[in-house]
């Protein structure tokens, strides 16, 4: 494929690489965090053309602090599709000599990309979802190098007759080898739900043979506000838990704050902390028991939404650094930092406001440095 013009207008870029954030805390307890290390030298992005006339493309950018070309493009690789809605890739770079999974969402395409040679990134393989599942979204690497893949929908009608998209049935989960061979699948359908579960993002806990999955939409108009717990060894769905409505500092309900469970992250004690897109926050404990506990612990106050089809707040992809939870909040044009030393009682310690035209959505951290 020919190289993509760097001057082509860009709609968006989703990155798996370095995010530099200064944590200026006003916490009750000052704690130093060791973030020393050698920064990664390049950033991998997946970019869409603004008017969708040119192919979407993968792009590597020089981010080496010592480089005279820092901030400049290194290599582009057109994917051969227009208007694919470049979307999720893995949150962290895999080990050397391993590929990374990338999502061209609107084309229902997963790309397996070799990024070891930053000057010659290569799409090694692509695959479409296995029937009846549709629209792959998120990827989670397992310790043995396989990937969990969430599918937002499956063939058939949604249990909610008001769902506007077709197909709109419950999504599911698959596991693939590093080379893209399908190993197994499971439906996310659970008895009694009036809305479809749309597997969005994962938290994998191999030590207790569990993984946690959130439920949120992309193009869909209806979804279940739940999280699910599966047993990894046999892909059994064990629990489906409703997200409680968030409350403000005065204890008043914040309607809609529970909408769309989003980014689960594993804490050092093996529990899981997560945000909803509607900006309520939750702490999941007792995950390997018959009675797991999901507690609403914090809510970021945002404006109510004008109509039912929109989710308030837009608390999107977070990143955890030690006991700090760094949260993008698109509707507030800000990045909010919470201290979660006690995950049952988070509190805000810092907020970075961005220009009104910039709506933070995705955060990722360079594992090699700060």
Sole residue written with tokens 């061979």: 181
Residue-averaged pLDDT of the chain: 88
- The pLDDT score that the predictor gives to residue 82 is 86
Give the separation between CA 277 and CA 41, rounded to whole angstroms. Answer: 32
Predicted model pTM = 0.88
pLDDT (tens digit, 9 = 90+) per residue, 12-27?
A: 333 333 333 333 334 3
pLDDT band at 94 (very low <50, low <70, confident <90, very high): confident
Indicate if the pLDDT at residue 118 is higher than 80: no
- The pLDDT score that the predictor gives to residue 27 is 39
- The pLDDT score that the predictor gives to residue 21 is 37
Region 120-131: what's the mean pLDDT? 92
pLDDT (tens digit, 9 = 90+) per residue, 138-189?
A: 999 999 999 999 999 999 999 999 998 999 999 999 999 999 999 999 999 9
Give the separation between CA 33 and CA 195, rounded to whole angstroms. Answer: 42
pLDDT (tens digit, 9 = 90+) per residue, 24-73?
A: 334 344 445 555 667 888 888 899 888 888 899 999 999 988 899 999 99
- The pLDDT score that the predictor gives to residue 15 is 38
CB of 214 closer than 8 Å to CB of 201: yes
- Specify the higher pLDDT residue, 300 or 118: 300
Q: How many CB atoms lie within 10 A of CB 167?
A: 17
| Ranges of each domain in the chain | 1-16+39-128, 130-242, 247-370
Q: What is the dihedral of CA 16, 366, 268, 295, to 10 degrees?
A: -50
Q: Is 134 left (phi over 0), alpha (psi -120 to 50) or beta?
A: beta
β-bridge pairing 236-242 and 246-247: unpaired
Indicate if the pLDDT at residue 3 is higher than 50: no
Indicate if the pLDDT at residue 256 is higher than 50: yes
Region 103-109: what's the mean pLDDT? 89
């Amino acid at each position: 494929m020919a190289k993509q013009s760097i001057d082509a207008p860009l709609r968006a870029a989703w990155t798996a690489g370095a995010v530099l954030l200064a944590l200026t805390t006003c916490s009750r307890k000052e704690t130093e965090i060791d973030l020393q290390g050698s920064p990664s030298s390049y950033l991998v992005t997946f970019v869409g053309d603004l008017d969708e006339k040119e192919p979407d493309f993968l792009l590597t950018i020089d981010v080496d602090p010592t480089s005279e070309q820092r901030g400049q493009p290194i290599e582009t690789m057109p994917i051969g599709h227009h208007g694919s809605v470049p979307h999720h890739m893995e949150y962290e770079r895999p080990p050397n000599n391993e590929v990374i999974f990338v999502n061209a969402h609107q084309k229902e395409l997963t790309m397996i990309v070799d990024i070891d040679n930053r000057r010659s990134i290569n799409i090694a393989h692509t695959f479409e979802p296995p029937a009846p599942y549709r629209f792959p979204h998120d990827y989670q690497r397992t310790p043995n190098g396989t990937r969990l893949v969430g599918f937002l929908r499956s063939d058939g009608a949604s249990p909610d007759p008001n769902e506007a998209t077709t197909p709109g049935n419950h999504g599911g989960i698959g596991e693939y080898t590093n080379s893209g061979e399908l190993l197994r699948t499971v439906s996310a359908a659970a008895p009694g739900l009036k809305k479809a579960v749309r597997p969005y993002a994962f938290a994998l806990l191999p030590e207790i043979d569990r993984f946690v999955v959130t439920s949120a939409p992309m193009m869909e108009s209806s979804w279940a506000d739940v999280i699910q717990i599966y047993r990894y060894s046999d892909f059994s769905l064990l629990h489906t838990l409703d997200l409680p409505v968030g409350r403000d500092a005065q204890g008043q309900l914040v309607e809609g704050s529970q909408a769309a469970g989003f980014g689960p992250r594993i804490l050092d004690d093996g529990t899981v902390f997560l945000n909803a897109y509607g900006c309520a926050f939750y702490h999941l404990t007792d995950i390997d028991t018959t009675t797991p506990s999901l507690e609403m612990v914090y809510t970021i106050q945002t404006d109510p939404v004008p109509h039912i089809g929109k989710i308030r707040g837009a608390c999107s992809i977070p990143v955890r650094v030690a006991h700090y939870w760094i949260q993008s909040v698109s509707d507030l044009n800000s990045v909010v930092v919470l201290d979660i030393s006690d995950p049952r009682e988070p509190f805000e310690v810092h907020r970075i406001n961005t220009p009104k035209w910039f709506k933070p959505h995705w955060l990722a951290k360079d594992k090699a440095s700060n």
